[in-house]
Amino acid sequence: MKNYVVLTIAAAALATANAQTYTPNLNNVELGLTGGYQGGLSGGLTLRAGNVAGPLGFRIGVDYTNVSDALNDNAAFLPGGNVTVAQRKAAGDKVSGSSTTVALDATYDLPSTVAGVNAYVYGGARYNNFNATLDQTTSGSGKVTYSTGQFGLGAGVAAGYALTGNLSLTGDLGLDYYFPSDFSTNTGGVNGTGDTFKRGEGGYDEVNTLVNQPTTSFKAKLGLAYRF
C-alpha cells in the first residue's frame, strides 16, 4: 500500500514537471487514481460522470486504507480482563487494521475562469468495512479479528489541473462521518469461531471501547484523472 501511494504521488509530480497549460477535455467521464491520507495511508479509484444535468453529475469511489490504531492501547483486550492491548503488544503481539470504503456522491461543477483548472464539490453516502486484528501467534493464541460494516455520509471538494487534453493532476479534500455499527469477531482465521456484539446488548460497550471503529475521518489526497 505504501509503495502504491508513493508511486501515485510520484507519477503526479513527474507529470506536473513536464506539463504545459491545457484546456481540459470536457467529455463527461473520467477515471481517477488517488493516494494520500484517509484515516491512514490510503489509495483508491474513482469514476466520475460530470455535467450529466447541467453542472450536476455523480461519482463512485472505492478506497483501501491501512489503519495503524485499530485497537485502543489502553483498553482491556478481553471484556472484564486485566491485560491491555498495550501489554499484549509489548509481549510481541501485533495489531493491524484496514478499511475498505465505497462512496456514491452527487457532484456539482464550480465555474472557473483559470485556463486548465476545474473544480467541483461533492457529497453522498458511504459504506465502510472495517477490520481490526490482534495477531497473537507469538504467544500461541492465534489471531482475533473484529469487523464492522458502517454506513455514513461524506462531503468534500476536488480540483484538477490539466496536464494534457485528457490527463489532469487532481487534489481531493473531504470529511466523512460513520455511524456506529454492530461488531462481529473471528478467532483463528477463516474456519475459526466467532461471535456478534449488537448495540444495546451486553458486552457491546466493552468491545466498542476496545475497537477504534471509524467515526469522523478527514481525507487529503493527490492523484491523476483521465478523461475519456
Q: Phi-psi bin for 51: left (phi > 0), alpha (psi -120 to 50), beta?
A: left
Query: Among candidates 85, 108, 112, which has minimal Cα distance to 209?
Result: 85
pLDDT of residue 76: 84
Task: pLDDT tens for the chain, 228 residues: list them.
Answer: 545 444 444 444 444 444 444 444 456 799 999 999 999 999 999 999 998 999 999 999 999 999 989 999 999 877 667 888 998 888 888 999 999 999 999 999 999 889 889 999 999 999 999 999 999 877 667 788 999 999 999 999 999 999 998 999 999 999 999 999 999 988 765 555 678 899 988 889 989 999 999 999 999 999 999 998
CA–CA distance, 153 with 120 (Å, rounded to integer): 18
| Domain 2-227 architecture | Beta Barrel (2.40)
CB 50 within 8 A of CB 107: yes
pLDDT of residue 14: 45
CA–CA distance, 134 with 120 (Å, rounded to integer): 40
Q: Could you state, in order of their start, the residue ranges of all structural domains in the chain?
A: 2-227
